[in-house]
Amino acid sequence: YRLGKLNRAETTCGFCAVGCRFEMWGKDGDSLGVVPIEDPDSAPANNFSTCVKGKFGHEFANSRKRLTRPLVRNDAGEFEPTSWENALDYVADRLSEIQDEHGVDTVGCLASSKGTNEEAYLVQKFARQVLGTKNIDNCARLCHSSTVAALQQTLGYGAMTNRINEDIGHADAYLISGSNTTESHPVLATRIKQNVRDGADLIVFDPRKVGIAEHADQYTRTRPGYDVAWLNGLIRYLIENDLHDTAFIERNTKGFESVKKKVQAFTPERVEELAGVSPDELAAAAETLAAADTVVFGWAMGMTQSSHGTENLIAMADLALTLGQVGKEGAGLSPFRGQNNVQGGGGDMGTLPGSLPGYQDPADDDVGEKFAEAWGERPPEEPGLKVPEMFSEIHEGNLKGMYIVGENPALSEPDVTHAAEALEQIDFLAVQDIFVTETAEYADVILPAATSPEKHGTFTNTERRIQRVRPSSDPPGEARQDWEITQALANRLGYEWDYDHPKEVMAEISSLAPIYGGVTYDRLENGDEHGLQWPCWDETHPGTPYLYDYEEGNFNFDDGLARFVPADGGHPGELPDEAFPYTLTSGRVLYHWHTGQITRRVEGLMSHVGESFVEISPETAAQIGVEDGEYVRVESRRGAIVVKATITDRVGNGTLFIPMHFAAGAVNKLTQENFDPQTGIPEYKVSSVRVEPL
Ligand code: SF4
């Protein structure tokens, strides 16, 4: 479909997982601007505004640096344009050759959390059905895989339990940790700040005094890497002082005694020693949370990206269960997920090793047979490689080919020097993207794709709400829709996929993934409420605002009971020492997004923050001998970068912060390959470094 000259489309923001809704205008193939939809009854968060990224960030789609033709690397090592026929044949032939010679599992695929659900579904289907490989993953591995694992173990579903507007916007109290909400999820933060102005209590525990902490009733600076300690300390305090919800615990949970025993060791003194939280701060937070009728627990990658990430979030879930703050209005466990479609494309669609669409187990015979009937063959039953394992296996010579869609591991992996060596070494790499990203620089073939203002499909936001995405402009030049490219590859490899529109893909998803069973484009476009929250079991089901029920429980286990699970914690993988005396954390800034491959191309955003920097406290800056605005060399055991110093008390003495968005001054040259054993999420938030003035 080619669009006319001036277009208006009601669509969903392509940046973060708040999932703001707006009208986007396009003209002559370019995106012109967005207009928020003012609808006070509308479910998505932004019935009043959008943030700066949502409003201006779409200009990247108009960039003259967009890929417009397939590129293939020639004998001289340079990229040269080629036809789609040649490019697709080349990808299909090389993947086949590698599999014929070395085995099906010597290739792997990375799907995108930025693309639509329908595109992500097709990439995992391409991996499992067409290539027959078990190696499919996506960058949710690097952001909230520990959240998913923890909530699955304790509550049943690995997702937000509640809603943005009605619950996060109306809690009596908040405990937010490891989330720079103001800069990463700005519209959601506005909801919280409005409610705090109206009297809600806000508690922020974080190593860095992030923007949302400026609005807090209690901000407590924590020591990076010791979140289980203060969470267990809070649980201990609540139990010791009889502030726990005994009726809820007895009615709806099991395993409480095991957690009660575990937290005994987390005395206030031990919590202070490990996490840097004083007994008074611990008691104050516990008393505030216990006094509130409803509490929202919010977190992001400050909690998840740890070698104890899963245990951090198990402890958070234990705390919510101890207080009985699940399954009622204004309360719940609320992971603030990052990319626009990381809930859907990064998990719901089965782009994970060992998880089919709808989080179904490929080893389950009923599930396997259902997919076999639909696809003609059963998907691989064993879990495949996680993203970091794929890079290790390239180094070992066991993974020889990759098809990477819309991901940029050359900047997003920990210890990127090691990742770059793997990309250099791999036999064949096909990258499907909209720019020549840092990862595409290593490719043998680059396939030019479309981006969110150019797509039909659906995104699923952080509250499990499936929403329509519509195009206001066309992809540039010969660039194609991602689903069309994946389908063309499947066709070349002998599979007769013949989808004409993403809605046909959604029909297949609905038929195979029960939690999406009642999702149709007709309902999404013509339903009473905007979007549908999963699980939505069939076409008469209204969707599920609350995953569980305070009175009835209804946790996603056979007996309906939530599980208390003891969490241990421990030390991070690296501690400061004489050679590397400072602790580095990383994160986001308001004007950029992820590895910056999109936002670094928007002049308006670059004019606010145009380069990487390191935040240093005044005391640490004095130790180092550096002034604000001077350049410094930051070095870890993995590598070194040069960045500008920003002297600020946002960070504590001995802790540094560097944003994750820049290729020059890439923070992941410094981060460590130390992983959470349960999920493989890297410990981005704790690395030991030294700093020298230039
Ligand atoms: Fe887009 Fe997130 Fe900003 Fe909303 S808060 S406009 S979804 S980037």
Contact between residue 576 and residue 582 where contact means Cβ atoms under 8 Å apart:
yes
Q: Is the pLDDT of residue 39 over 80?
A: no
* 3-state class (DSSP) for residue 613: strand
**DSSP-derived pairing of the beta strands 465-469 and 532-533:** antiparallel
- The answer to whether the CB of 18 is under 6 A from ligand 1 is yes
142-181 per-position pLDDT tens digit:
778 899 999 999 999 999 999 888 888 889 999 999 998 9
Residue 52 alpha carbon, nearest atom of ligand 1: 3
Q: Is the pLDDT of residue 1 over 50?
A: no
Q: Is the whole-model pTM more than 0.95?
A: no
User: Given ligand 1 and candidates 12, 22, 42, 46, which is best to mutate, with the most ligand atoms within 8 Å of its CB?
Assistant: 46
pLDDT for 598 equals: 64
Contact between residue 200 and residue 173 where contact means Cβ atoms under 8 Å apart:
yes
Minimum mean pLDDT range among 201-215, 378-392, 522-536, 538-552? 522-536
Report yes or no on 326 lying in a domain.
yes
Report yes or no on 523 lying in a domain.
no
Report yes or no on 398 lying in a domain.
yes
ipTM of the complex: 0.99
Q: Are residues 159 and 169 in the same domain?
A: yes
Q: Which of 306, 335, 364 is the last residue of a domain?
A: 335
The larger pLDDT score, comparing residue 417 to residue 552, is at 552
Number of domains in the chain: 3
Q: 210 C-alpha to center of ligand 1: Å?
A: 18
Q: Are residues 414 and 448 in the same domain?
A: yes
User: Atom 6 in ligand 1: which residue has the minimum CA distance?
Assistant: 54
pLDDT for 612 equals: 83
DSSP output for 6-72: EEEEEEE-SSBTT--EEEEEEETTEEEEEEE---TT-SSS-SS---HHHHHGGGGGG-TTS--S-EE
| Domain of residue 594, CATH code | 2.40.40.20
Number of Cα atoms under 13 Å in the Cβ half of residue 206: 32
pLDDT for 411 equals: 81
554-592 per-position pLDDT tens digit:
999 999 999 999 999 889 989 999 999 999 998 776 665
| Domain of residue 295, CATH code | 3.40.228.10
Burial-class residue 240 by CB neighbours within 10 Å (0-12, 13-18, 19+): middle
Sheet of strand 173-177: strand arrangement = 218-221, 201-206, 173-177, 295-299, 332-335
Read off the amino acid at residue 80.
E
Q: Are residues 220 and 309 in the same domain?
A: yes
Number of Cα atoms under 13 Å in the Cβ half of residue 593: 28
pLDDT for 518 equals: 96
Interhelix angle for 268-275 vs 227-240, to 10°?
Answer: 160
Q: Are residues 172 and 272 in the same domain?
A: yes
* 3-state class (DSSP) for residue 322: helix
Minimum mean pLDDT range among 296-305, 619-628, 658-667? 658-667
Average pLDDT on 13-25 reads 88
Q: What percent of the chain has pLDDT over 90?
A: 71
User: Atom 2 in ligand 1: which residue has the minimum CA distance?
Assistant: 16
Q: Rounded to an integer, what distance in angstroms lies between the CA atom of residue 376 and that of residue 328? A: 43
Report yes or no on 24 lying in a domain.
no
416-474 per-position pLDDT tens digit:
788 889 999 999 999 999 999 989 999 999 999 999 899 999 999 999 999 999 999 89
Q: Is the pLDDT of residue 242 over 50?
A: yes
Q: 180 C-alpha to center of ligand 1: Å?
A: 14
pLDDT for 509 equals: 98
Give the count of beta carbons closer than 10 Å to the beta carbon of residue 627: 10
Give the count of beta carbons closer than 10 Å to the beta carbon of residue 77: 6
Kindly report the CA angle at 490 between 487 and 491, in degrees rounded to 5? 85
The separation between CA 131 and the C-alpha centre of its own chain, rounded to angstroms, equals 26
Residue 188 alpha carbon, nearest atom of ligand 1: 5
pLDDT for 408 equals: 87
pLDDT for 4 equals: 58
Give the count of beta carbons closer than 10 Å to the beta carbon of residue 666: 24
86-98 per-position pLDDT tens digit:
999 999 999 999 9
Minimum mean pLDDT range among 347-356, 363-372, 680-689? 680-689
Q: 12 C-alpha to center of ligand 1: Å?
A: 9
Q: Are residues 310 and 177 in the same domain?
A: yes
| Domain of residue 137, CATH code | 3.40.50.740
Backbone angles phi, psi at 499, to 5 degrees: -70, 135
pLDDT band at 645 (very low <50, low <70, confident <90, very high): very high
Q: Which of 335, 353, 378 is the last residue of a domain?
A: 335
DSSP output for 411-436: HHSSSHHHHHHHHHH-SEEEEEESS-
Structure tokens at 36: 């928020």
Q: Are residues 277 and 368 in the same domain?
A: no
**DSSP-derived pairing of the beta strands 21-27 and 332-335:** unpaired
Q: Rounded to an integer, what distance in angstroms lies between the CA atom of residue 261 and that of residue 239? A: 11
Report yes or no on 481 lying in a domain.
yes
Number of Cα atoms under 13 Å in the Cβ half of residue 544: 21
Q: Are residues 245 and 350 in the same domain?
A: no
Kindly give the residue spans of alpha helices, DSSP state H, lying in 426-541. Answer: 482-492, 502-512, 521-526
pLDDT for 23 equals: 87
CB under 8 Å to 137, separation ≥6 — which residues? Answer: 108, 109, 110, 111, 351, 352, 353, 384, 385, 386, 387, 390
Q: Rounded to an integer, what distance in angstroms lies between the CA atom of residue 318 and that of residue 297? A: 11
Report yes or no on 9 lying in a domain.
no
Q: Is the pLDDT of residue 44 over 60?
A: no
Q: Are residues 210 and 197 in the same domain?
A: yes
Mean pLDDT, the chain, rounded, equals: 91
β-pair partners for 563: 254
Structure tokens at 152: 């699955």
The separation between CA 177 and the C-alpha centre of its own chain, rounded to angstroms, equals 16
pLDDT band at 43 (very low <50, low <70, confident <90, very high): low
99-137 per-position pLDDT tens digit:
999 999 999 999 998 999 999 999 999 999 999 999 999
Q: Is the pLDDT of residue 72 over 90?
A: yes
- The answer to whether the CB of 234 is under 6 A from ligand 1 is no
Structure tokens at 411: 């900047």
- Quote the radius of gyration of the chain (alpha carbons, Å): 24
Contact between residue 461 and residue 497 where contact means Cβ atoms under 8 Å apart:
no
Q: Rounded to an integer, what distance in angstroms lies between the CA atom of residue 666 and that of residue 551? A: 49
Q: Are residues 360 and 483 in the same domain?
A: yes
Q: Are residues 481 and 611 in the same domain?
A: no
CB under 8 Å to 384, separation ≥6 — which residues? Answer: 105, 108, 133, 134, 135, 136, 137, 353, 354
Q: Are residues 117 and 198 in the same domain?
A: no
pLDDT for 630 equals: 94
Report yes or no on 521 lying in a domain.
no
Q: Kindly provide the b/e burial profile for residues 471-509, where b requires at least 16 CB atoms within 10 angstroms of the residue's own CB.
A: bbbbbbeebbbbbbbbbbbbebbebebebeebbebbbbb
Residue 16 alpha carbon, nearest atom of ligand 1: 2
Q: 498 C-alpha to center of ligand 1: Å?
A: 34
Number of Cα atoms under 13 Å in the Cβ half of residue 265: 12
**Tokens 């959604």 found at:** 506
Residue 186 alpha carbon, nearest atom of ligand 1: 5
pLDDT for 296 equals: 96
Contact between residue 676 and residue 300 where contact means Cβ atoms under 8 Å apart:
no
Q: Which of 335, 354, 388 is the last residue of a domain?
A: 335
Q: Is the pLDDT of residue 478 over 90?
A: yes
- The answer to whether the CB of 19 is under 6 A from ligand 1 is yes
The larger pLDDT score, comparing residue 620 to residue 47, is at 620
pLDDT for 418 equals: 84
Report yes or no on 110 lying in a domain.
yes
Q: Are residues 102 and 86 in the same domain?
A: yes
389-400 per-position pLDDT tens digit:
999 999 999 999
Contact between residue 31 and residue 59 where contact means Cβ atoms under 8 Å apart:
yes
- The answer to whether the CB of 36 is under 6 A from ligand 1 is no
46-61 per-position pLDDT tens digit:
566 788 878 877 888 8
Range of the domain at 589: 582-693
